[in-house]
Amino acid sequence: MNPYRSDHKPLRRRLPKQAAPGLGWFSIGLGVAELLMPRLVARATGMHGSETLLRLYGMRQIATGIGILSAPDPKPWVWGRVAGDALDLLTLGAHAGPHNPHRMRTCTAMGVVAAVTAADAACAQGLSHRPLELQRDYSDRSGLPRPPEQMRGAALEDFRPPVDMRTPEPLRPYAVH
Amino acid sequence: MKALCYHGKHDLRYETVPDPKIEHGRDAIIKVTSCAICGSDLHLFDGLIPMTKSGDIFGHETMGEVVEVGPENKKLKAGDRVVVPFTIACGECDQCRRGNFSVCERSNRKKNLGDLVFGHTTAGLFGYSHLTGGYPGGQAEYLRVPFADVAPIKVPDGLSDEQVLFLSDIFPTGWQAAVACDIQPTDTVAIWGCGPVGQFAIRSALLLGAKQVIAIDRVPERLSMAAAAGAITIDFDEEAVLERLKDLTQGKGPEKCIDCVGMEADVHRSIDSMYDGVKQMLKLESDRPHVMREIIYACRPAGTISMAGVYGGLVDKFPLGALMNKGLTLRTGQTHVNRWADDLLQRIERGQIDPSFVITHTVGLDQGPAMYKTFRDKQDACVKVVMKPHAAQQGALQ
* Mean pLDDT, residues B170-197 taken together: 97
B80 and B202 share one domain: no
Question: Is residue B85 located within the same domain as residue B204?
Answer: no
What is the distance between the alpha carbons of residues B276 and B289, in angstroms, rounded to a whole number? 8
Q: How far away is chain A from the Cα of B35, in angstroms, using its nearest Cα?
A: 20
Q: What is the pLDDT of residue A2?
A: 56
Q: Give the model's pLDDT for residue B109.
A: 95
Pairing of strands B188-192, B212-217: parallel
Longest dimension (CA), chain A: 86
Contact call for residues B384 and B207 (beta carbons, < 8 A): no
A17–B contact, CB cutoff 8 A = no
Residue B297 Rama label (left phi>0; alpha psi -120 to 50; beta): alpha
| Same domain, residue pair B287 and B327 | yes
* Structural domain count, chain A: 1
Counting Cβ atoms within 10 Å, is residue B169 exposed (0-12), middle (13-18) or buried (19+)? buried
Does residue A163 form part of some domain?
Answer: no
Domain membership of residue B131 as a residue range: 2-169+335-394
Mean pLDDT of chain B: 95
Indicate whether B145 and B247 sit together in one domain. no
- Tell me which of B331, B352, B371 is where a domain ends: B331
Q: What ipTM is given for this predicted complex?
A: 0.91
Instruction: Kindly state whether residues B64 and B154 are assigned to the same domain.
Output: yes
- Mark which of B282, B313, B331 sits at the end of a domain: B331
The per-residue pLDDT for range A77-103, each reduced to its tens digit, is 999 999 999 999 999 999 999 999 999
Contact between A49 and A42 under an 8 Å Cβ cutoff? The reply is yes
Would the pTM of this model clear 0.90, i.e. be above it? no
Kindly indicate the confidence band of residue B397, based on its pLDDT and cuts at 50, 70 and 90: low
Using a CB-CB cut-off of 8 Å, the residues of chain B touching A176 are 184-186
Is B58 in the same domain as B36? yes
Yes or no: say if B172 and B275 are a contact pair by the CB < 8 Å rule: no
Chain B residues whose CB is inside 8 A of the A146 CB are none
CA distance B146 to B127: 13
Check CB contact under 8 Å for B207 and A151: yes
Domain span at A101: 11-128
Give B153: exposed, middle or buried? Use CB within 10 Å, 0-12, 13-18, 19+: buried
How far apart CA A79 and CA A105 sit, in angstroms, is 27
Is residue B199 domain-shared with residue B281, that is, in the same domain?
Answer: yes
Residue B129 has pLDDT above 50, yes or no: yes
Percent of chain B with pLDDT over 90: 90
Are B316 and B370 found together in one domain?
A: no
B6 with B52: CB under 8 angstroms? yes
The residue-averaged pLDDT of B155-159 equals 95
How many domains does chain B fold into? 2
- A4 is a domain residue: no
Residue A168: predicted pLDDT: 84
Do B228 and B280 fall within a single domain? Answer: yes
CATH code of the domain in which B22 resides = 3.90.180.10
Question: How does pLDDT run across B32-89, given as a tens digit for each residue?
Answer: 999 999 999 999 999 988 899 999 999 999 999 999 999 999 999 999 999 999 999 9
Question: Does B158 lie in the same domain as B307?
Answer: no
Indicate the pairing of strand B61-69 with strand B28-37: antiparallel
Interface test with A, best of B166, B238, B246, B336 (most A CBs within 10 A): B238
Identify whether A153 is part of a domain: no
Interface test with A, best of B235, B273, B384 (most A CBs within 10 A): B235
Average pLDDT over residues B97-125: 95
Buried-state track B116-136, b at ≥16 Cβ within 10 A, e below 16 = eeeeebbbbbbbbbbbbbbbb
In whole angstroms, give the CA distance from residue B302 to residue B324.
10
pLDDT (mean) for B256-273: 89
Between B144 and A130, name the one with better pLDDT: B144
Hey, how many other C-beta atoms are within 10 angstroms of the C-beta on B143?
30
pLDDT bracket for residue B267 (50, 70, 90):
confident
Q: DSSP secondary-structure letter at B300?
A: P
pLDDT at A75 (0 to 100): 95
Q: Label residue B171 by pLDDT band (50, 70, 90).
A: very high
Cα dihedral: A25, A31, A36, A37 (round 10): 100
Q: B209 vs chain A: nearest CA distance in angstroms?
A: 4
Q: For position B359, what pLDDT does the model report?
A: 98
What are the residue ranges in chain A where pLDDT is below 70? Answer: 1-7, 173-177
Beta strands in chain B (DSSP E): 2-6, 12-16, 28-37, 61-69, 81-84, 87-88, 124-125, 142-145, 153-154, 188-192, 212-217, 232-235, 256-259, 304-307, 329-331, 361-364, 385-388
Determine contact: A97 vs chain B, CB below 8 A. Answer: no
Residue B25 has pLDDT above 70, yes or no: yes
Which pLDDT score is estimated for A172? 74
Please check whether residues B312 and B368 belong to one and the same domain.
no
Condensed to tens digits (0 to 9), the pLDDT of residues B303-347 reads: 999 999 999 889 999 999 999 999 999 999 999 999 999 999 999
CATH number of the domain to which B327 belongs:
3.40.50.720
d(CA A148, CA A84): 55
**Domain match, B177 and B205 both:** yes
Q: How many CA atoms lie less than 13 Å away from B114 in the CB half-sphere?
A: 22
What is the predicted pLDDT for the residue at A169? 82
Look at residue A177 in the predicted model and tell me its pLDDT: 45
The helix (H) or strand (E) run that includes residue A112 is helix A103-128
For B324-387, give the DSSP string.
HHTT-EEE--S--HHHHHHHHHHHHHHTS--GGGG--EEEEGGGHHHHHHHHHTTGGG-S-EEE
The last residue of one of the domains, among B276, B299, B331, is B331
Non-local CB neighbours of B392 within 8 Å, separated by 6+ positions: B2, B14, B364, B365, B366
